[in-house]
Amino acid sequence: MSEASKNVVLSVKDLEVTFRKGRQRVSAVAGISFDLYEGETLGLVGESGCGKSTTGRALMQIVPSTGGEIYVDGAELTSLSKKEARSLRRKMQMIFQDPISSLNPRRRVKDIVAEPLDCWKTAKGEERDAIVYDLLNKVGIDPAVYGNRYARQFSGGQCQRISIARSLAMRPRLLICDEVVSALDVSIQAQILNLLEDLKKEYGLTMLFIAHDLAVVKNISDRVAVMYLGKLCEIGPSDTLYAKPAHPYTSFLLGAALEADPEIEQNRATLSGEPPSPLHPPSGCRFRTRCPFATEKCASEEPMLRDIGAGQQVACHYPLVGSHQ
Amino acid sequence: MTNTETPMIPNEIVVEHPEKREPIGLFTWICVGWLAINLGVALLTPFLPIANPKEMISMPSMGMSLDHLMGTDSLGRDLFARVAWGSRISLGVGLGAMAIGFGIGGPLGMLAAFRRGKLDVALSSVMFTLLAFPSIIAIISILSMWWPRSLAKIILVVGISSVPLVYRVIRAATLSAGSKEYITAARVLGAKDRRIVFRELLPNVAPTGLSFLLFGVATVIALEGVLAFLGLSIDPNTAPSWGNLINDARQSLNDTPQNWPLIIFPSAILCLFILALNFVGDRLRSYFDVTEVKL
C-alpha cells in the first residue's frame, strides 16, 4: 500500500451532523475523520441508523454539517459561500438508494441524463446529445431505443443505470454511492456492481460506497470503514479488516454476515440487543453497552482512532489484534 | 411497438416496460364530446342560426317542435336559444372563477410548499382559516349587498372564495412531489430553484391541478345554479344562465304544468355537463397517476 504517496481527493475532519427537534438534539454523525485517496473505493458499513447515509448526505451538503471540515481536492467545502460550494460540488456526485424515486417519472431518459449538462450549460445541441448517447451506451441502455422513454417505464436496475449515467455527465472526481444496490434483486446487484467497477476504471473515479451488506462491500472496496452510532470504530484495508477485525464490533458484524458456503466454519458470535438511542449516547466508548470486553476505562474514557499498523486504524482500548509489528 | 432488432447490451437485457395505461375508453370520450359540444355552442352562439333569446317570437308555452326544439317559455321565447345563450354565462362563470382561483391559489400553494418554513406557516394559517369559514355564506352575503350584480362581480366573488381550496390542493400535491428523492437529486446535480419548480415539480403537480380544475369548474357551475335559484346571480333579463332558466321555469310551472320541458331541459343539460366534467376529471386523474401505472 502506497497510500501516502497518493493524492487525497476527499478529506473529512471531525465531521458532525446534529439534528434538532425542539429541545432534543440527535447527533447522527458525532465527529468522524477519514481520507479518500485518488482511485480508491472506501466502503462505509454499519447498522441502520448508525449515520452512514447521513455522512454521505452531509458530504453532498444535502443535510448541513454542524461541525468539522470537508476538503475536496484541498478546498474546504463547508466554509464556502453557497455559490462556490455549488460549483465545487460538481466534482462530487451521488447515487441514491431508491433508484425509482430518484428519477422524475415524468421526464424522458435522455433529458434526465442531460440534466447536469443543462444545469451547468456545459454542452449544448449536438455535443450535448452526443454525451448523453455515449453515457447511456456505457451503462447498457440503448439510447436510440430507450432515450425517449419516460423514467417510470423502467425497472429498478435500469433506473439505477440511468442514475449512474446521470451522475457521470459532469465527469466527477468523486462518486458517493448511498446503498445503491440494496433495493435491487441479487442478480441485478452484481450487474450494477460490475458496471460501477468498470466505469470507475474508465473514468478514474474515487468512490465512497455506503452499504450495510458486508459481502457487497468486501468485493468492491479497497478499504472499509465501520461506523457505530455516529462514530468510526475501525478503518482499514478490506482484506485485513475482514481477516483480522480489530474492533469487537467489527468482529460481531462479520459474525452476523452469512457465508454462501455451508462448509465454512463461522465465527458464530453475534450481537444481541439494539444500539442505544443516539439521543442519549453512552459515555466513553459508544459500543461499551453491548461489548463483552468493556471495562471501567471504556465508560470513562473515549477511545480515539489510532494506528495499529498495516493501514488499519481502530477506536478501541482493547483491540482484538495487537499491533501488527 | 416491438423492436425486431435486439440491441447489444452488456450484462442486462433491457426489458421493455410498455405503459400499462388503460385506454381512455368510449364512455370518457362521450363525456369529452359532450363537453366539447357545450363549449363549442357557448363560444359560437352569436354566429349560430339561433333565435334571439330575449325576443318573444312565438306563442307562449309551446311544446317541442322542429321550429322550437325545446319549445317556448311562458313569454314565448325560444327555450333552445335561451339554453344556448345560458351556456355562455354558466361556462363563463365556471371558467372565469377557476381562472382566478388557480391564478392566485396555484402559485401561492406551490410557493408555500416549495419554500416551507415561515412563509408556509403564514400563508397556510390565513388560507386554512378562510377555509374554515363556510364560503357559500360569504358569497351569498357579499352578492346580496353588492349592487347591481354583474357577471364580472359574480366571477370575482366566487373566484376569490375558491382560492383557499385551490391553494390547499396544489400545496398538498407540491409537498408530495417535493418530498421525492429526485428533487434532492436535482439539487445535488446543481439545478437552481426555478429549474426545480418548472422542470421537476410542475410536471408532477399539473395532473392533479388539471383534474381538480375540472371538478372546480363543475362545482362553480352548480354553485351559480344555486345562486340563480336564490335570485343572487345576474339579472335574468340581461342574459339568462342555466340556473336562471331553472328558476324561471320553477315559477311558471305552477301555472302551466304541461310545459315541463321548460324545467327538464336546462336542468338536464346542467346535470349532464357537471357529470361529464366530473367523469373526465376522475379519468384524467387516474390516467396520469404514475404510481398506479407502476403497480
User: Complex ipTM, two decimals?
Assistant: 0.83
Answer yes or no: is pLDDT of B293 > 90.
no
Residues in CB range of A301: below 8 A, 6 or more apart: A284, A317
Q: Are strands A223-228 and A231-237 parallel, antiparallel or unpaired?
A: antiparallel
Residue B239 has pLDDT above 80, yes or no: no
* pLDDT tens-digit map of B113-142: 999 889 999 999 999 999 998 888 889 999
User: What's the CATH number of domain B30-50+69-294, 1.10.3720.10, 3.30.70.20, 1.10.3080.10, 3.40.1160.10?
Assistant: 1.10.3720.10
Q: How many residues does chain A have?
A: 325
Chain A nearest-CA residue for B193: A119
Q: Phi and psi dihedrals of A227, rounded to 5?
A: -110, 145
**Which of B:177-196 have CB within 8 Å of A?**
180-182, 184-192, 195
Is A302 a domain residue? yes
Taking only the tens place, the pLDDT of each residue in B155-180 is 999 999 999 999 999 999 999 988 88
Grid cell, residue A56, equals: 454521505
Residues of B in contact with A63 (CB under 8 A): none
B3 band by pLDDT with thresholds 50, 70 and 90? very low
Report yes or no on A76 lying in a domain: no
Rounded to the nearest 10°, the torsion over CA A279, A31, A56, A69 is 140
Taking chain B, what is the end-to-end CA distance rounded to the nearest angstrom?
Answer: 22
Domain range enclosing A283 = 249-325
Task: Point out the residue among B14, B184, B195 whose CB comes nearest to the CB of A146.
Answer: B14
The pLDDT value recorded for residue B263 is: 85
Cβ–Cβ below 8 Å for A140 and B12: yes
Give residue B55's identity as a one-letter amino acid code: E
Whole-angstrom distance, CA of residue A263 vs CA of residue B28? 64
Element (H or E) spanning B122, and its range? helix B117-132
pLDDT over 80 (residue B110):
yes
The answer to whether the CB atoms of B184 and A62 lie below 8 A apart is yes
CB distance B214 to B195 below 8 Å: no
Q: Which residue has the higher pLDDT, B12 or B45?
A: B45
- Average confidence score pLDDT of chain B: 84
Q: What whole-number distance in Å separates Cα of residue A203 and Cα of residue B195?
A: 28
A99 neighbors A160 (Cβ within 8 angstroms): yes
Residue A228 lies inside a defined structural domain of this protein: no
Binary contact (A89, B290; C-beta < 8 A):
no
Tell me the domain boundaries of chain B: 30-50+69-294
pLDDT tens per residue across span A128-173: 999 999 999 989 888 888 888 888 888 888 999 999 999 999 899 9
Task: Return the minimum-mean-pLDDT range out of A94-103, A316-325, B25-34, B93-102.
Answer: A316-325
Query: Considering just the CA atoms, what is the radius of gyration of chain A in Å?
Result: 21
Residue A300 resides in a domain: yes
Q: Which of B14, B192, B294 sits opposite A142 (nearest CB)?
A: B14
pLDDT score, position B9: 42
User: Going residue by residue through chain A (325 aa), what tens digit of pLDDT does each one get?
Assistant: 444 557 889 999 999 999 888 788 888 898 899 999 999 999 999 888 888 899 999 998 888 889 889 998 888 888 888 888 888 888 899 999 888 889 998 899 999 999 999 888 888 888 999 999 999 998 988 888 888 888 888 888 899 999 999 999 989 999 999 998 888 888 888 889 999 999 999 999 999 999 988 888 988 999 999 999 989 999 999 988 888 889 989 888 888 776 666 676 655 666 777 778 888 888 888 888 888 888 888 888 889 888 888 888 999 888 887 654 4
Helix axes A109-120, A125-138, angle to 10 degrees: 130
End-to-end CA distance of chain A: 16
Determine, yes or no, domain membership for A61.
no
Does A139 fall in a domain? Answer: no
Let me know if residue A118 belongs to a domain: no
Of residues B32 and A153, which shows the higher confidence score?
B32
Pick from A89, A98, A105: CB nearest B190 = A89
What does the pLDDT read at residue B17? 54
Domain count, chain A: 1
Determine phi and psi for A276, rounding to 5 degrees.
-65, 160
pLDDT digits (tens, 9 = 90+) for B210-232: 999 999 999 999 999 888 888 88
Decide if B192 contacts B157 (C-beta within 8 A): no
Nearest-by-CA chain B residue for A159: B14
A-B contacts at Cβ under 8 angstroms = 95
DSSP structural state of residue B18: -
Question: Maximum Cα–Cα distance for chain B, whole Å?
Answer: 83
Distance of CA A4 to the CA centre of its chain: 21
pLDDT value, residue A258: 67
The proportion of chain A whose per-residue pLDDT surpasses 70, expressed as a percent, equals 94
Q: What is the pLDDT of residue B15?
A: 53
- Please give the residue of chain B at the shortest CA–CA distance from A192: B11
Question: How far is it, in rounded angstroms, from Cα A246 to Cα A248?
Answer: 6
Contact A238, A223 (CB under 8 A): yes
Answer for the pair A248, A209: CB distance below 8 angstroms, yes or no: no
For the stretch A220-254, pLDDT in tens is: 999 999 999 989 999 999 988 888 889 989 888 88
Q: Is residue A178 part of a domain?
A: no
